[in-house]
Structure formats: C-alpha cells, structure tokens
Amino acid sequence: MSAPRLVRATGRLLPALAAVAALVVLFVALIALTDGAGSGWAAWLTALGVGAALAIWRGRRRSRRARLLTFLPVVVAAALTATVCVPTVPTTRQHPPALPFVATQHWSLATGSRVAVYHYPPADTGALRPVPLVYINGGPVRGISLLDHRFLQLLARRGHDVYAYEQAGGGRSDLLPMDQYSISRSVRDLGAFVDRLDKGEVDVLGFSSGGVVLTRALAEPSVAARLHRAVIADPGPMDGPTARIKGPKGRKSARNLAPTMTGPRSTHLPRYAVAFGLMRLGLLSPDTGLIGQAEGDNAFTAADLGSDTASAYCARDAHRIPVEDTAQNFSFSAAASLRVQQTIRDSPSIAPRLERSRTPAMLMIAECSSQVRRWATEILAKDPAVQRTHVMPGVGHHMWNGLDDNDDRAAAVITAFLQDKPAPLPNRPTRDEIPAFLRDHK
C-alpha cells in the first residue's frame, strides 16, 4: 500500500475506533448509572440508541454507501457490549458437591438462615475436651477451604469436638436476600447456631472476618453468654472507626512475589470483569441488576482472588504457596462479602460494649500478616478479657497452611488456651507493649 493510501486508510480507521471506544465507555457509564438494570440491557439499548442517532446525523448528506459505513462502529460497539449482558454460567445457585470425608448437614437457624454444618468428633486420645469448639471461617461469605478442613481434623485429633458452619450465602449454605447480609446478622447467626447445637456454652475459633464476627459477639451480652472461651485469629476491623485506621502491617508477605495464580478467571469474561470491577470500585451496588447473586457466586473462581491469596503467606513462602482448595469446593460470594464489609464500615464503635466483656479470649496475630496491625491491637486494648496474645512466627494471614509445622504450632497454641494450660509461645504484645509493637513493625 502506498503512503498516501495508508494515510487515508488510517484517517478513516482512527475515527471509527474512537467512535467504538466512546460508545463502549458510554455503555459502561450507563451500567453504573442504572445499576445494571435488566442484566445490562437498559444501558445497552440506550447506548445503541445514542450511537444510531449520531450515525444518522453524521450520514444525513452522504451517499447510501457512506451512510451505511457510519453505522459500522455502532454495530461493532453493540456486539462488544452485548457480551456484558449475556450470562455464561447458570443463574441459579450451583452448590459445591458433597465432601468425601465429612457429612454435610443443613441446619435451619432461628434467624431464618439455613447453613451447612460439618462435625469432626474428638479422637479417643484420653484428653477429650468437654466443651465443643465452633469454627467461623473468613470470607466474609466464603466456603470453608480444604486447607481449613484439614486443620479442623487436626484439632479433632487433639481431643476437640469440632463443629464448623459456612455462614449464610457461603459454600453449601443457602443464600439470603442481598439486603439481609450484615455483620449484625452474622453475629445473630452465631448465637442461633449455638442454641441449635444445644450443648451449653461453646468455645469459638474465629479466623479473619470470622474473628470480627466473634469480636462483635463478645460485645453482645445475649450472644456472649453462650460463649465459654474465644480465640480471635488475625481479625479484620471490628467496627467503622477501626476500619478507617491506617497503620503498619506485618512483615513482608508474598504479594507480588508469588507466581501468578493459574486457572480460569471469570474476570477474563466481559460480563464478570465489568460487574466485579465496578462493584469493587463502588460504582455498582452488591444487589446490582447486572448479575444476580447466584450467578456471581457460580462465576467467581479462586484465580479471581489474584494476589489476595499470596498476601496470606510470608515472602519466604512465595514459591511454595499450597493449593488451598479445589475448583469443585471453592465458593466465594463477592457481592455478599462487599455488603457485609460495608455494614462493618458503617457501624459505630463497639468499644464501649467490648469493654464490658468477660469471656476469656486469646488473640493470634500472624508475623507476616497483610492485615493492619491495629485491627488486632484495638481488640487487645478495648477487651479486658483478652488473656493472651501470640504473634505466630513464620506465617502469614493464613496461619494454618500445611507448610512445615505451622498447623501443629497453631493447634498447640489454641489447645493450650482452651485447656487453660501454659502457653507454648510468649504472651506478646501485652497492652502496655502495643505502642512499641506497632512502632517496631513486629
């Protein structure tokens, strides 16, 4: 092609590409403005109408062939944006299949939640713990990973009578209407679960956002009365004021150091890339009309978590991060999780109520935690019933991870506290040591 022809072709192509890009941007903006109404078709039809009107206006004095060419960018943009409106996974919830090593029970709670329950009876070791241990996983709305199931089995082998449930909307539990997800509902569900268990007071281990549920339960006298001892493992922020705290984190994690997670990603598909991306930016509500809750849960994969998984491990473990779950068992509700997190950020301080807590508690803090340190130390400062605090050496946020002897060390710390025996690790930081602990980035 001669230079003049190339210049003329480029001169025609660039405006066409610009028109396509402008229509795509308009469509995405309309998705945000309409909150994805009608699975995105409302935005699509509006963008198509605008594009068609502009094409008609531009071609009003041109030849028929030229008028048809002005519609080409509209057709291309319409085809591209239509992929955002068409589901590619089932729109009714597809629960993970049953686990081969533990029965899945379904309990209907007094709150209206129907949750999946797993029971690991204690091994006959001669050191049986008379008080049941209830596990609340992180997420907030996520299934219990196989890595966590293996740790619960280890606790059972150490004599604990372990019960775990997946919070409403997570894993094999039933979904709630989106407006019913909240941190207060999670706390009420914990109290209702203990009532349904009907074995008197229970010990509770809460990890990550499960630790937030447990912390807030300690501040609710009606729920705290059912709790015997509490283990809060690397918690998130307990309330709105704490969520706004910025500050030091733990030692360097494997974020940006670990190999990129492999496997299919829903965010490589236009529909889910737009939906989850705009949700994360706060431009779509969790109950958006673009994708339903069930469809979003079915679409989201472990690879979509990206560097979040790597951030739960120490930098030194970047190239040996274990596979936490299988594709069949993995379950995460991004929309419901965002909804619960928003209710935490919007909640007032629970410190005045937490200061009246009397349930013996222990804090576990990961040495390489990606969590803000003050999320944990605020609990230590405000809850007078925290008896022990342990910085778990050599581990990231996911403290029981199957590497080295990490599971055994975590189990030893938990068992010692629940049995009121001497701790295998130093009690640090104490309340008086909090300023130095934060200052030294330990």
State the pLDDT at residue 419.
Answer: 93
One DSSP character per residue, 168-205 reads: TTSTTSPP--GGG--HHHHHHHHHHHHHHHTSSSEEEE
List pLDDT tens digits, range 343-385.
999 999 999 999 999 999 999 999 999 899 999 999 999 999 9
Residues in Cβ contact with 438 at an 8 Å cutoff, skipping those fewer than 6 apart: 247, 248, 373, 374, 377
Between CA 191 and CA 214 the distance in angstroms is: 10
The burial class, CB within 10 Å (0-12 / 13-18 / 19+), for 147 is: middle
Q: What is the mean pLDDT of the chain?
A: 92
> Tell me, what's the pLDDT at 63?
73
Q: What is the mean pLDDT of residues 412-419?
A: 96
Query: Quick one: pLDDT at residue 179?
Result: 95
pLDDT digits (tens, 9 = 90+) for 297-348: 999 999 998 888 999 999 999 999 999 999 999 999 999 999 999 999 999 9
The token pair that represents 231 in the structure block: 């283990």
Residue 441: which pLDDT band, with cuts at 50, 70 and 90?
A: low
The CATH fold of domain 105-265+301-439: Rossmann fold (3.40.50)
Q: How far apart are CA 142 and CA 145, in angstroms?
A: 9
pLDDT digits (tens, 9 = 90+) for 236-245: 999 999 999 9
Domain boundaries, the chain: 3-82, 105-265+301-439
pLDDT level of residue 267 (50, 70, 90 thresholds): confident
Q: What percent of the chain has pLDDT over 90?
A: 83
What pLDDT, on a 0 to 100 scale, did the predictor assign at position 84? Answer: 96
Number of Cα atoms under 13 Å in the Cβ half of residue 303 = 13
pLDDT for 7? 44
Strand partners, 363: 232, 389
Q: How far apart are CA 376 and CA 74, in angstroms?
A: 53
Residues 184 and 341: beta-carbon distance below 8 Å: no
10 Å Cβ neighbour count for 241?
15
Tens digit of each residue's pLDDT (9 = 90 or more) over 54-112: 888 877 767 777 667 788 888 999 999 999 999 999 999 999 999 999 999 999 999 99
Mean pLDDT of 415-419: 96
pLDDT of residue 127: 65
Of 345, 324, 335, 317, nearest to 183 (Cα)? 345
- Of the pLDDT bands very low, low, confident and very high (cuts 50, 70, 90), residue 146 is very high
Distance of alpha carbon 315 from alpha carbon 101, whole angstroms: 32
Rounded CA-CA distance 76/47 in Å is 12
pLDDT (tens digit per residue) in 164-192:
999 999 999 999 999 999 999 999 999 99
Angle (CA) 223 224 225, round 5°: 90
**143-to-5, 171, 267 alpha-carbon distances in Å:** 59, 4, 20
